[in-house]
Amino acid sequence: MTAPATLTPPPGLRVLVTAGAAGIGKSIAEGFAAVGARVHISDVDADAVSATCSDRITGTVADAANEDATRDLFGEARETLGGLDVLVANAGIEGPTGPISDISAGDWDKTLDINLRGAYLAARFASEDLIASRGSFIGIASVAGRLPFAYRTPYAASKWGVVGLAKSLASELGPQGVRANAILPGIVEGPRIDRVINARAERLGLSYEEMRERNLEKVALRRMVSPDDIAAMCLFLNTPGGSNITGQALSVCAGVETL
């Protein structure tokens, strides 16, 4: 096989993307569908699920942190797809912004429940299918999963956890042919980062524009990345060329070295 031929995912992959009806998740789902995969998504927003579904994308309304809902999601996906080759555990929220002394236990728990418990539940219910197909787990983490992130401790803790989950799955399931990796997006264009920038700006008494520029000063390329950049890495990890990549935390961040 020539090198260029190794950069195309095999046709007919069966893919599940949690929180796949908006933002990064939607780009991932549509990216896989565009190269011939059959994709099943979940999301809590029924209207967004309906709007994202197409001839190659089916969907289920489900809360990623709910055990029963996630069990049912995988049952529906299994019935629809006939199995599973790729799981992208993407569900996540930004969580609160503030000093640790102001972070309530409820906000902490909600962030960890969706971001980390959700990834664990998805991995748990997908594991038998991925072993059967010698498939691939991808956890969507963040550069906050390799760097300290002051005033965003619940988010950072959850994303460090996603990295640990992916690396541990790589070790545990590797002998059975399953690969597991985490992707660490940097500052991703979209409504979520706008909310984060606004919250941080308000706390520091800055304008949105000033806060945005401060953030980009920490990025080597001085730009944000796009959801499609994250989707491209997901696709690459499921090509023949990516078949020996496992247990890795892969940053797609334009060169973020501090937060």
- Cα(19)–Cα(35) distance, rounded to whole angstroms? 20
Q: Would residue 251 count as lying in a domain?
A: no
Catalytic residue among 120, 151, 155, 208: 155
Number of independent structural domains in the chain: 2
Q: Please name the residue that has the structure tokens 């700006």.
A: 201
- The H or E element that residue 181 is part of is strand 179-185
Q: Would residue 258 count as lying in a domain?
A: no
Q: Are residues 92 and 128 in the same domain?
A: yes
- Residue 151 annotated to the active site: no
Give the percent of the chain with pLDDT over 70.
100
Domain with 140 in it:
4-186+227-245
Average pLDDT over the chain, rounded to an integer: 96
**Residues 155-161, mean pLDDT to the nearest whole number:** 98
Report pLDDT digits (tens) over 83-103: 999 999 999 999 999 999 999
Q: Would residue 254 count as lying in a domain?
A: no
Q: Report the alpha-carbon angle 138-22-87, nearest 5.
A: 20
Q: Are residues 86 and 168 in the same domain?
A: yes
Q: Are residues 116 and 209 in the same domain?
A: no
Q: Would residue 259 count as lying in a domain?
A: no
- Cα(125)–Cα(94) distance, rounded to whole angstroms? 24
Would you state the pLDDT for residue 199?
86
Q: Are residues 212 and 148 in the same domain?
A: no
Report pLDDT digits (tens) over 200-258: 899 889 999 999 999 999 999 999 999 999 999 999 999 999 999 999 999 999 999 99
Amino acid at residue number 201? A
CATH for 105: 3.40.50.720
**Residues 129-134, mean pLDDT to the nearest whole number:** 98
